[in-house]
Structure 1
Amino acid sequence: MTIMRALAGAAVAALLSALPAGAETPVVRVALQLSGTVNWEVDTIRHYGLDKANGFSMEVTDIAGAPAAQIALVGGEVDAIVSDWLWVARERAAGRDVVFIPYSRAVGGLMVPADSAAKSLVDLEGQKIGVAGSPVDKSWLVLRAYARKVEHFDLAGSTEQVFGAPPLIYKAALDGEVQGALNFWNFGARMQAAGMRTLVNVDDAVAALGLDPETPLIGYVVRGEVLETHPGLGEAIAAASRAAKDKLASDPAAWERIRPMMHAETEAEFQALKAGFLAGTPSPGAVDEKAAARMLAIMTEFGGADLVGDLKELPDGVFHHPGS
């Protein structure tokens, strides 16, 4: 065990002392798409008892998709979901008490065939790009901002985009139906394993824009009243998440156990998925809210009301802070 990990463990232990002694173990009802990559972590948490080791019990319900999960959370049917902090910001601005606990900062990149002549985004002018999601996908907005502010190029106006579900964009990329593809990180890992290469990594684009690539986009979103009812629960959820990632980082058997749910078709794909998941581990400690506010400004500029609604600035309380 490294000194840093030992210190982190001590810090977690100190935080967990906030959980009332002898109190009934909180049950956190989480709604997730069990086909998603978050299930690799959640299944690890539950299998190794990392929730109970941190003073709570995680109860998981499969749900069809993000909109259904968000409705269930707002309606009080569940206590937590996994979503992005931009949605949390919109909800808090509308008066709903939900709080973001970082889970992952994994992002993908715009990928091209290995033999593509493209060396930068501007080389894709007049070509077709596949984008997983919608025109307000966060990674797509980052690349649009990067193209305009760094390469001085209108990526949206000078290319043809095909928006669709991640599996469809993955297939279109491998079949050569698009000349470039921006997909979720796990499909990007599969594309890399299949021989494609990254033209622009979203992390690199974020850094080039003067933003902080350490800002986690995805997290556990928990109803505020649940955290208030159980002091220390936010820290406990964060600790269980970190413990699961530590387990996966240090124990190959933990990956072999969940390998069937990863649906990796080759060893190269399996290794790429492992590496991509672990690379998305958020930095410990509080989220830099000033950095998040700068990212929100970019999202607002390029995504507009379709993404952020009437949101003009980062509301208070979006991010859970240790000890709060």
Structure 2
Amino acid sequence: MSRSHVDAQQAVLDEHHDDPGELPTMRARFEHNGSPRYLLYTIKRFGFDRDHDFHLDVELVSDALEDGIETVEAQLQEGHADLIDIDYISIARERAEGADIVAFHPYGRTVGGLVAPEDSDIEGLTDLSGHRIGVVRRLDKNWILTRAACREYHDFDPDETATPVEAGSKVELTRMIREGEVDAGLQFWQIVPEITETGPFEEVLPMSELVQRLSETDNKLPIAAFLTSESYLDGQRETVRAFTAAYRDAVDRLVEDDDLWVEISEKLMSYDDPAVMRAVRDGWREMVVRDWDQDSVDGMYRLFDHLKAVAGAEALGVAEIPERTFETDP
């Protein structure tokens, strides 16, 4: 994504950045190519932050790595942000290393899907053996999820019986799938529609199904969550609660309002194909998690144990989830 496109998206958000006045401010810093920007736009577009008596200041930042820490994480840890989202294993890892952070609300099941040609003989997990399977990285959560499910339910490890092929990037993985260099690929959810809606490919298996099975909960389980610093939570607890209320309002609007997605597509997406936009919309609605409770958190712990059994604590970067990582009722 070009710098000009990022600036154009920021300008769209800035149209709704009015004077906060006396309202408490929450500084949201999110990746310019991440799906939360649809939600943040909706909050600002309809003034859901003001409805709940706070000002959400949204800035899109780079997703590049700086000293091994994603820029959004650095923004929070260095005191330049009050709100970001990352996956909960990364939250646990940073907290275990002493970061002053806490996850206070879910975002969604930010995993991917297994994509294969429509005429492929790969129809599910049991068909992976003997095939070349494209992955962004072998330590990618989609591949670890696949291995965990195969080991738990089918008594084999595709890391041993199939051939995982590392692409190194989402863009390269899409090329490998389209050009037949791999028999199937584990692509991230928001990119799956670009492949399935523009070529003879299908999503064989959403990774969200494996998330639910391995977590052993009926609750829609989040992989990514919103987090803030413990100091901000302690000092601005009412503002944090206000954000969760604005978040729910925005989710409800995005789930119900198809016309809003046409507007979002025109202002924030780079897709020209309406079918791709609709598929992204439907994927977002399936991915997002409106709320959570202790049963959800218990499922997140169970899923973590499955992933650690497959990849090991060293690969995940953390041996256990520290206490007070999740605050389900801030």
Using the TM superposition, give the Cα deviation of residue 229 of structure 1 relative to its aligned residue in structure 2, in angstroms. 0.8
- Partner Cα separation in structure 2 for residue 249 and residue 214 of structure 1: 15
Give the 3-state SS of the residue equivalent to 2:204 in structure 1: strand
- Partner Cα separation in structure 1 for residue 263 and residue 240 of structure 2: 28
Is the contact made by 2:135 and 2:166 (CA closer than 8 Å) also made in structure 1? yes
Is the contact made by 2:113 and 2:192 (CA closer than 8 Å) also made in structure 1? yes
Whether 1:290 aligns to 2:298 is yes
Counterpart of 1:25, as a letter, is: L
Is the contact made by 1:50 and 1:244 (CA closer than 8 Å) also made in structure 2? yes
Counterpart of 1:139, as a letter, is: N
What are the Cα deviations for residues 44-63 of structure 1, in whole angstroms up to 9, with x where unaligned?
Answer: 11121111212221112222
In the alignment, what sits opposite 1:226?
Answer: 232
- Partner Cα separation in structure 2 for residue 265 and residue 229 of structure 1: 44
What are the Cα deviations for residues 148-168 of structure 1, in whole angstroms up to 9, with x where unaligned?
Answer: 221222211222322322222
Gaps of 5+ in 1: 1-22
In the alignment, what sits opposite 1:299?
Answer: 307
Give the 3-state SS of the residue equivalent to 1:183 in structure 2: strand
Within 5 Å, give how 1:74-223 maps onto structure 2: 74-100=77-103, 101-132=105-136, 134-158=137-161, 159-194=163-198, 195-209=200-214, 211-212=216-217, 214-223=220-229
Is the contact made by 1:104 and 1:217 (CA closer than 8 Å) also made in structure 2? yes
What are the Cα deviations for residues 245-286 of structure 1, in whole angstroms up to 9, with x where unaligned?
Answer: 211222222112111222223222111111000112214342
Using the TM superposition, give the Cα deviation of residue 305 of structure 1 relative to its aligned residue in structure 2, in angstroms. 3.3
- Partner Cα separation in structure 1 for residue 157 and residue 79 of structure 2: 42
Is the contact made by 1:106 and 1:279 (CA closer than 8 Å) also made in structure 2? no
Using the TM superposition, give the Cα deviation of residue 115 of structure 1 relative to its aligned residue in structure 2, in angstroms. 0.6
Give the 3-state SS of the residue equivalent to 2:154 in structure 1: coil
Is the contact made by 2:214 and 2:306 (CA closer than 8 Å) also made in structure 1? no
Is the contact made by 2:251 and 2:290 (CA closer than 8 Å) also made in structure 1? no
What are the Cα deviations for residues 97-140 of structure 1, in whole angstroms up to 9, with x where unaligned?
Answer: 212121122432211110101233343323222113x3222222
Give the 3-state SS of the residue equivalent to 2:271 in structure 1: coil
Counterpart of 1:178, as a letter, is: V
- Partner Cα separation in structure 1 for residue 311 and residue 284 of structure 2: 27
Identical aligned pairs, as a percentage?
27
- Partner Cα separation in structure 2 for residue 84 and residue 247 of structure 1: 24
Is the contact made by 2:144 and 2:310 (CA closer than 8 Å) also made in structure 1? yes
Is the contact made by 1:103 and 1:220 (CA closer than 8 Å) also made in structure 2? yes
Closer/same/farther in 2, CA of residues 233 and 317 from structure 1, 3 Å limit: farther
In the alignment, what sits opposite 2:63?
Answer: 65
What are the Cα deviations for residues 222-261 of structure 1, in whole angstroms up to 9, with x where unaligned?
Answer: 1111111112222222222221121122222211211122
- Partner Cα separation in structure 2 for residue 184 and residue 202 of structure 1: 9
- Partner Cα separation in structure 2 for residue 45 and residue 71 of structure 1: 24
Counterpart of 1:246, as a letter, is: D
Is the contact made by 1:130 and 1:164 (CA closer than 8 Å) also made in structure 2? no
Could you tell me the TM-score, scaled by structure 1's length? 0.85
Is the contact made by 2:135 and 2:164 (CA closer than 8 Å) also made in structure 1? no
Is the contact made by 2:215 and 2:300 (CA closer than 8 Å) also made in structure 1? no
What are the Cα deviations for residues 15-55 of structure 1, in whole angstroms up to 9, with x where unaligned?
Answer: xxxxxxxx942211122112221111111111211112122
Counterpart of 1:199, as a letter, is: V
- Partner Cα separation in structure 1 for residue 87 and residue 213 of structure 2: 22
In the alignment, what sits opposite 2:280?
Answer: 273
- How many residue pairs align between the two structures? 299
Closer/same/farther in 2, CA of residues 271 and 236 from structure 1, 3 Å limit: same
Counterpart of 2:256, as a letter, is: S
